[in-house]
Amino acid sequence: MRRVGSGDVTLAVVEEGDPARPTVVLLHGYPDTLRVWDEVAALLRDRFHVVRYDTRSAGDSTAPRDPARHAFADLASDLAAVLETLGKPKVHLVGHDWGSLQGWDALSRPGLRERVASFTSIGGPGLAQAAHFLRHGRRRDVLGQLARSWYMAAFQLPVLPELAWSTFMPKLVERTLRGEGAEPRPGHPARTIRRDGRRGLWLYRANTVRTLGRGDVDPRVDAPVQIVECTRDGYASPALVASLERWPSRCWRRRVVAGHWAHRSRPDAVARMIAEFVTHVEGGSEALSASAPASRALRAARVRAGRRAFEDRLVVVTGAGDGIGRATARAFAAHGAEVVCADVDRAAAARVAGEIGEDLGGTAHAAQIDVGNGAEMEAFSRNIAEEYGVPDIVVNNAGVATVGLFLHHGTDDWRRVLHADLWGVVHGCRLFGAQMARRGEGGHLVNVASMAAYVPSALLPAYSAAKAAVKALSECLRAELAEQGVGVSVICPGFVSTGMARHATYLEEGVRGVAAKALARRGYPPERVAAHILRAVHANLAVVPINAEGKIGYALSRISPSAVRALAGLGVREIGKSRGNDRADGRR
């Protein structure tokens, strides 16, 4: 730690890492100090020169004699003083909360903006950008943001805010941190939080009314800006964060599944985003000793016109060699995704991956996998993460069917169906869902079930039981993983014209031909199911019944379960008729 003078204040500055490497300056918010960045700084300092300092009136920095000297111009002077001591022509700014507001302001100031190589904004807009949103945003969005920002008006009051910081506010901060999964620790909240909270009120009093009341401030900035949205931030609404995309000349927008103090609760994710962005902007400088192509996540975050819905997303599809899996893999690729086509038949997976490259000009990879084999799936998920990265979307589609009455099902029949149809989904959700949760940027699991999950059939006891379990599992997982930002959708098609009927195992005589012909006559192509899967991911839908019989069956299962149970025996009567006809044919 060292001290830097700026006017009548001295700033406490901490430097870590090799000064020859690119410099990252971390700006803290209110009522924090530089210690709020401890975890992130520890993850960055081996690759970057990391600098952080206590803003005026916070932590170990001193306060100005005139409390009104907390305006943005004063904060800009402090930043300039720190930069002067570093001797670097350009630095990468990272700001949280008030530090983010300060960073946006720096990008608009001659003398400072030329020294900013990039800016990462976490949990805070610039006041100029916020002012434009409040004037021109949708009325509902503006009212929602004003409700979140009630404290900004309360902090303008005399005496009462100071009294709050002297009494209950420090405990409230601790309780909020715990609610976000960030336990208080030495250094945060700081030992000086009561004093910092009282003095820092002048940040609001010296800036908010003055800046928000002006309509002539240009919100545009000419710098690479990475906007990190904290999905559970109680202060900055999604609409406000989304409105920021239009102002930087080059913009990336990313999400971290966390509350306001994301750098405390998810320092791994925040540090990774900062490192990827700085490395990319640096472009592979000698100091980094590496080329700097943008990571897939960073490519996917780039804001630009004409971007396809799933461009630069990584999608894994099991059972991709044919039918719904093949159609789904192609559909995601057509919308810009990089696809891993996995199937128990490697030749079929390779054929589909080749089609994606040749027909669609997309990027696809083939993999052979038995989804019901836990060891194989462990290795498969690990290899995917190491070679391509954590998937954004996983479609657990692989499955088999056995057709016949329950009393004709042997143990091996049950084992075969549950192995693929249930255990394949369990392994896919468990392994890839854990990767998505650890990454902290969300994701989506799609489990392909069937209308058999809620419309029972005497001819499909194992298949129906497996698909019903997949539906129940999906709804349980959806509730659990929502906190991690991972969506879960279960897809329930009716009769679809695929090769499944040809590949099924039949335990009853005369059923195979009837089933294959019925599916062919139904004429519902798997491409339409794929379109529903893409829609389910885009809209984060829970249960998606598909085609007429799927939707009618779903409605009946909720309105009149007895009617659905009555339909279950139709197949038994058809078998009886078939056997009767066979005997009659024999007599003839």
33 vs 188: CA distance, rounded Å: 8
pLDDT digits (tens, 9 = 90+) for 548-579: 999 999 999 999 998 888 877 776 665 555 55
The predicted structure's pLDDT at residue 290: 46
Tell me what pLDDT residue 519 has: 65
3-state secondary structure of 80: helix
Instruction: Give me the phi and psi of 394, to 5 degrees please.
Output: -125, 125
Walk across the sheet containing 116-122 and list its strands.
Answer: 2-6, 9-16, 49-53, 23-27, 91-96, 116-122, 221-230, 248-256
- Both structure tokens of 107: 């990008």
H helix runs in 440-525, sequence order = 461-481, 500-503, 512-522
For the beta carbon of residue 14, count every other beta carbon within 10 angstroms.
Answer: 18
C-alpha to C-alpha distance for 67 and 201, rounded to whole angstroms: 9
pTM: 0.90
- pLDDT value for 499: 79
pLDDT in tens, 242-291: 999 999 999 999 999 999 999 999 999 999 999 999 999 998 554 554 44
Q: Is 289 helix (H, G, I), strand (E, B) or coil?
A: coil
**Distance between CA atoms of residues 224 and 113, nearest Å:** 11
Are 255 and 442 spatial neighbours (Cβ–Cβ below 8 Å)?
yes
pLDDT confidence of residue 500: 78
Sequence-distant (≥ 6) Cβ neighbours of residue 306 within 8 angstroms: none
CB-neighbour burial class of residue 110 (10 A; exposed 0-12, middle 13-18, buried 19+): exposed
Q: Can you list the residues of the chain whose pLDDT is less than 70? A: 211-216, 284-292, 510, 513-521, 571-588
Q: Are 346 and 423 in contact (CB under 8 A)?
A: no
Q: Would you say 263 and 37 are in contact if contact means Cβ atoms under 8 Å apart?
A: yes
* Residue numbers annotated as active site: 463
Helix extents (H) in 388-508: 411-417, 423-439, 461-481, 500-503
Q: Which residues contact 501 (CB under 8 A, 6 or more apart)?
A: 401, 512, 515, 516, 518, 519
Length of the chain: 588
**Whose CA is closest to 344, among 376, 375, 314?**
376
